Amino acid sequence: MNVALGVGGGIAAYKAAELARALMERGFTVEVVMTRAAEEFIRPLTFAALTGRKVHTHLFSAASAEDTLASAIEHIRVAQENQLLVVAPATADLLAKFTHGLADDLLTTTYLAFTGTVVLAPAMNTNMWNHPASQTNMQVLRGRGHVVVEPGEGLLACGMIGPGRLAEPDQIADAVLAASKTKKPRRDLDGETILITAGPTQEPIDGVRYLSNRSSGKMGYALAEEAVARGARVTLISGPVNLPAPLGATLVPVRTALEMRQAVMDRLSEATIVVKAAAVADYHIPNPSKQKMKKTAARLSLDLEPTPDILAELGAKKGDRLLIGFAAETDNMVEEARRKLQQKNCDMVVGNVVSHVVSHVASQQGTGFESDENEVVLVTRAGETIPVARASKRAIAGRIFDEAMRLRLALHASR
């Protein structure tokens, strides 16, 4: 496995040489990236001799004009070819730059381009480590799922006694080894607050009867589970279903379309993404009797009124939020999904063909309502039509959020 070892400019930089050796002893191939400040403390030659590889120091270090392009994209190559990025010593300056996404040298640009596991071994003066700015930065970096090898306590180079000393190289190398064996969860929805609706609504006819549909809630609950796993704060507004509440999501149970509308609007201001997977009744009886209606021999007609279209109302108030609607269709699915996208001002509509076969045997199950699987087409505001092959509802949820994140970037870039 390949490790990029980022060396920051602190007195502990000399220990990074021992760390490079400790990593190689554990079977890693090590590629060193040094900051300019690190070079004040230790020479690149030391690392080159230890690792047998070129040591990277500058963002633009081309020896000739032909090398210029290769040099300019070196950070991308380093980020792509290494599975782990270990930064030791991670100085206060580097931690602040990582936190805020500053990218003014090879190590900080590599950090931004890197998508693998990051291990940070901070080292600095005790007061710098204890400063609220450093501690806030550490909170952000831990929140991104980075592994932090805590600094030790003891006599520091500055003469102070306290926390801030770089952890021992063997300790850091062991943490890297452990991190390399742990599958890294994707946290790309960190910082998002996602409002998801799921399930059917029930519209009372009288005290014991209601109008409803076959939605089981499985699609909406799968979206909630996926969003929580990827780091989002999730509120799940659900019609009546027989599913356990997804761990980590806030569940708001509702019954009718009117209740669902109210629950959504009450929480809209905090949402950055709204996903409307619920199958909301289009009609209801405005003032249903609380008593059970008596059966008579005469024909019975129900006087139904349209329910409020929650998605259309969200479209009118959407602002910068991503708004994702669903379309359950038996025919002309893509055309209908695109029509709903425009009519309701959505960023994406997930069209699913609702077929009628429902069976407990997976291979005989239909898609859409009630089944464990779905097959969808994503139509987007950017004009794309993206078919997603039949898969579990959780896997479909994953694709919906992948495409939503990509779409947000594309929409921002086009503004």
By the criterion CB under 6 A, which residues form the site for ligand PMT?
Answer: 199, 215-219, 257, 276-280, 282, 307, 309-311, 325-328, 340, 352, 354, 368-370
Report the alpha-carbon distance of residue 301 to residue 106 in Å, rounded: 73
Closer by beta carbon to ligand PMT, 336 or else 402: 336
Q: Which of 49, 158, 208, 357 is catalytic?
A: 158
Q: By C-alpha distance, which of 12, 144, 21 is closest to 88?
A: 12
Adjacency order of strands within the sheet including 29-34: 29-34, 2-7, 84-90, 117-122, 147-148
- What is the closest distance, in whole angstroms, from the C-beta atom of residue 368 to ligand PMT in the complex? 4
Active site residue 158: yes
CB 294, min distance to ligand PMT, A: 30
- We find the least distance from the C-beta atom of residue 199 to ligand PMT, in angstroms, to be 6
Q: Which is nearer to ligand PMT, 16 or 349 (CB)?
A: 349
CB 408 within 8 A of CB 191: no
In the bound complex, what is the minimum distance in angstroms from residue 373's beta carbon to ligand PMT?
10
Query: Which is nearest to 284 in space by CA: 257, 266, 309?
Result: 257
Selection from 81, 62, 64, 63 nearest residue 72 by Cα: 62
CB 87 to ligand PMT: min, Å: 43
Report, in this order, helix, strand and coil percent for the chain, each rounded to 5: 40, 25, 40
| Residue bearing tokens 């939605």 | 215
Between CA 187 and CA 195, with CA 192 as vertex, the angle to 5 degrees is: 120
The residue (of 95 and 337) whose beta carbon lies closer to ligand PMT is: 337
Which one, 171 or 213, has the nearer CB to ligand PMT?
A: 213
Nearer to ligand PMT (CB atom), residue 17 or residue 353: 353
Active site residues per annotation? 158
